Chain A
Amino acid sequence: MDEKDKEIIDLLQNRFPLSSEPYKDIGDKVWIDEVSVISRLARMFQDGAIRYIGPFFDGNKLGFSSCLAALDTPENNISFVTNIINSYDAVSHNYLRDGTPNIWFTVTAPTLEEQNKILQEIKEKTGVKEIKVFTAKKKFKTCVNPIKGVNHD
């Protein structure tokens, strides 16, 4: 990913052109043509650096309930537990981490009842003793935007 790529990402993250030809408008701002913008983005998709371009929704505003959850499982049980957790569409993120607990995932469901039902099911199917649940109380930042060398204003 070079400086031009970072400039393109920065514009898409912070000043997404809501216009008929958004990639052309991005190109105009970084002094390259639309075809180059599109081919650079296509390459970043290919590399896996980008997975999605579009709107990010506020689940709370849509009435959804969500939480961060964590459980601990031994090394040799991780893939078993992961398969169960990942089988739920309501689980959008799941990470193996150092420390205890070691499995951290998010559950987002249309209602709190649905969310708790999924957590209960995961607990039963995996056989873990406990799932720790962390519900957001206050949001300070929620924007994956860690591109270095680019000014964010």
Chain B
Amino acid sequence: MTELEKKVLSELQKGLKLETRPFKRIADICNISENEVLTIIKNNISNGIIRRMGVGLKPNKLGFKDNALVAFEVKPELVDSVGNFLANLKEVSHCYERECPPDWNYNLFAMIHAESKEELNTVIDNIIKQFGITNFKIFKTKQELKKSSVRYF
């Protein structure tokens, strides 16, 4: 990655302004054209360094009152099936298989967002019934203590 690219990505990471030409502002700061900024973005989407362009949201402000991190114990041969199933649920925002400490058997983690306790339970019920999962732990979100973006540049 060139120094120029780093500079552009670093400026982008500060967040786009709400103005007519937000990419032009970044172009001006970096002394390049707006088109060059857009090209750098597109290239870094293609190579996967930018996962996506989008919006950082606060789920609890969007009417999702009942959010939970749920950890399921899933047999290795079923991890892909359950993981893909979870990834397709609109209530699930994050889903990872994780390496766990020796005293911890819940290897598949999902963040589930629901509008009510009942909805949350229904979603979890569906998952465990679908795959015959017997062991899982629900860690309901009580309070957001910190939410920020990692500074990569």
In the complex, A82→B143 CA distance in Å?
11
Q: Are A138 and B99 in contact (CB under 8 A)?
A: no
Please give, as numbers and ranges, the residues of chain A lying within 8 Å of B100 by CB-CB distance.
132, 134
| Cβ contact of B101, chosen from A9, A104, A133, A146, cutoff 8 A | A133
Interface positions of B from 47 to 63, Cβ below 8 Å from A: 47-59, 61-63
Q: Are B101 and A53 in contact (CB under 8 A)?
A: no
- Asked whether B65 is an interface residue with its Cβ less than 8 Å from the other chain, the reply is no
Known: A97-B69, A141-B92. Is A136-B151 also a contact (CB below 8 A)? no
- Asked whether B32 is an interface residue with its Cβ less than 8 Å from the other chain, the reply is no
Q: Are B86 and A50 in contact (CB under 8 A)?
A: no
Please give, as numbers and ranges, the residues of chain B lying within 8 Å of A24 by CB-CB distance.
20
Interface residues of A: mostly helix, strand, loop or mixed?
mixed
In the complex, A50→B16 CA distance in Å?
12
| Cβ contact of B62, chosen from A21, A22, A38, A49, cutoff 8 A | A49
Q: Are B93 and A143 in contact (CB under 8 A)?
A: yes
| Cβ contact of A68, chosen from B16, B20, B83, B109, cutoff 8 A | B109
Interface string of B78-91 (1 = CB under 8 A from A): 01000110110011
Known: A91-B146, A94-B146. Is A136-B97 also a contact (CB below 8 A)? yes
Interface string of B16-38 (1 = CB under 8 A from A): 10111111100000000010001
Please give, as numbers and ranges, the residues of chain B lying within 8 Å of A137 by CB-CB distance.
96-99, 107
- Asked whether A93 is an interface residue with its Cβ less than 8 Å from the other chain, the reply is yes
Known: A53-B56, A92-B148, A95-B143. Is A58-B18 also a contact (CB below 8 A)? no
| Cβ contact of B24, chosen from A20, A85, A86, cutoff 8 A | A20
- Asked whether B9 is an interface residue with its Cβ less than 8 Å from the other chain, the reply is yes
Q: Are B50 and A57 in contact (CB under 8 A)?
A: yes
Q: Are A21 and B139 in contact (CB under 8 A)?
A: no
| Cβ contact of A146, chosen from B34, B91, B150, cutoff 8 A | B91
| Cβ contact of B145, chosen from A86, A98, A136, cutoff 8 A | A86
In the complex, A54→B89 CA distance in Å?
25
Q: Are A99 and B138 in contact (CB under 8 A)?
A: yes
| Cβ contact of A140, chosen from B23, B87, B90, B137, cutoff 8 A | B87
Interface string of B90-126 (1 = CB under 8 A from A): 1111111111110010010100010100000000000
Please give, as numbers and ranges, the residues of chain B lying within 8 Å of A141 by CB-CB distance.
86-87, 92-95
B48 nearest CB across to chain A (Å)? 5
In the complex, A91→B146 CA distance in Å?
8
Please give, as numbers and ranges, the residues of chain A lying within 8 Å of B68 by CB-CB distance.
97
Known: A38-B19, A98-B138. 12 other contacts (CB 8 A): A49-B57, A53-B18, A56-B52, A82-B145, A90-B150, A92-B147, A104-B69, A132-B104, A139-B95, A140-B83, A141-B87, A147-B62
